[in-house]
Amino acid sequence: MKSNCYMSLRPAKRRSNLSFSRNSHLKRDCFVVVPFLLAMTWITACLPLNATLPTAAPTPTETSLQTPTIVWFPPTATPTLLIFPTYTSTPVMNPGIGAVTLTDNFSDPSDWDTASSSDGTAAVSRNRLSLAVQPGMYILSQRHDLVVGDFYAEITARPSLCRGDDRYGLIVRNVGRSYYRFALSCNGQVQAERVNTRGIIVLHEPIASGDVPPGAPGEVTIGVWAVGSELRLFLNGRYQFGFTDTSYSSGAFGVFVLSQGTDPVSVTFSDLKVYDVDYVLPTKTPRP
């Protein structure tokens, strides 16, 4: 190996076998720095006095890429509120009811038709009118001295023996043997009929009603609203159906029991009330 590249002014010493990495680096650094300083001195001496030293170009800075912002819950369009029309309340199906014109507590047996036979009985006792018939028989009892046209009437019925298609109910506008009959069946159905000497005409087909007692024992309040040719049925104060018929404009009240099967039927009636009705039916516009 050749000797160092620079001239040493120090006397030579005996080499040692020990090595020091730190000092070795220092010597190596001296070899680099001295030539660099000599070169810079030579370059500066060659430049004119008014020369401007060249400026080192700035090291380009690495521009960091912009991280996109994650929108975890993006905004949504506000829905347009729908405006629904406001409807009026359920129309009153028995308008115009006024003062009570009759209250019958069934204390006077002479106010009703009564009878007794092997086929059936109609008797007033303990403020009730009891009707009972044998299988296949029909019985009707009419209220005396009371003829009305427009009215609202209520009566309470309590079946004690009744099943299947056996029927009972309220009769209105009775003249002789012609009347309207609202019939409740012991199978939970109700219907309306027009009865006369020629037969029976169904004015409203049987419909199921939760207000009709399914058999016996049971209790139900039967109400009928009648104005002109319009008649409407209520059970326990709830509207069931209505119909229009011009056959009978006025008459008496009555109740009935009908056995349709092979068993006797027994029903009691009580608490009859009749109200005045002041109401005019709307005129229907004729079709062209």
Average pLDDT across each block of 10 residues of the chain; the chain has 288 residues. List them in order: 42 41 42 44 48 57 62 64 55 92 96 96 97 97 95 98 96 96 97 96 97 95 97 97 97 97 96 96 71
> β-strand 151-161 against 238-244: which pairing, if any?
unpaired
Answer yes or no: are the C-beta atoms of 172 and 224 closer than 8 Å.
Answer: yes
Buried b (16+ CB within 10 A) or exposed e, 192-207: bbbbeeeeeeebbebe
The number of CA neighbours under 13 Å toward the Cβ of 236 is 10
Instruction: With 0.75 as the threshold, say if the pTM is over it.
Output: no
Residue 109 φ/ψ, nearest 5 degrees: -60, -25
C-beta neighbour count of 189 within 10 angstroms? 17
pLDDT of the residue at 283: 77
CA 71, CA 284: separation in Å to the nearest integer?
65
pLDDT of the residue at 79: 64
pLDDT of the residue at 282: 86
CA 193, CA 198: separation in Å to the nearest integer?
13
How far lies 189's CA from each of 57, 97, 129, 169, 193, in Å?
A: 105, 27, 23, 12, 13
Residue 110 φ/ψ, nearest 5 degrees: -75, -10
CA 229, CA 69: separation in Å to the nearest integer?
78
Rg (CA), the chain: 56
C-beta neighbour count of 160 within 10 angstroms? 13
3-state SS class at 29: helix
- The CA-to-CA distance between both ends of the chain, in Å, stands at 133
pLDDT of the residue at 80: 63
According to CATH, the topology of domain 97-277 is Jelly Rolls (2.60.120)
Show the DSSP H helices in the chain as ranges: 21-46
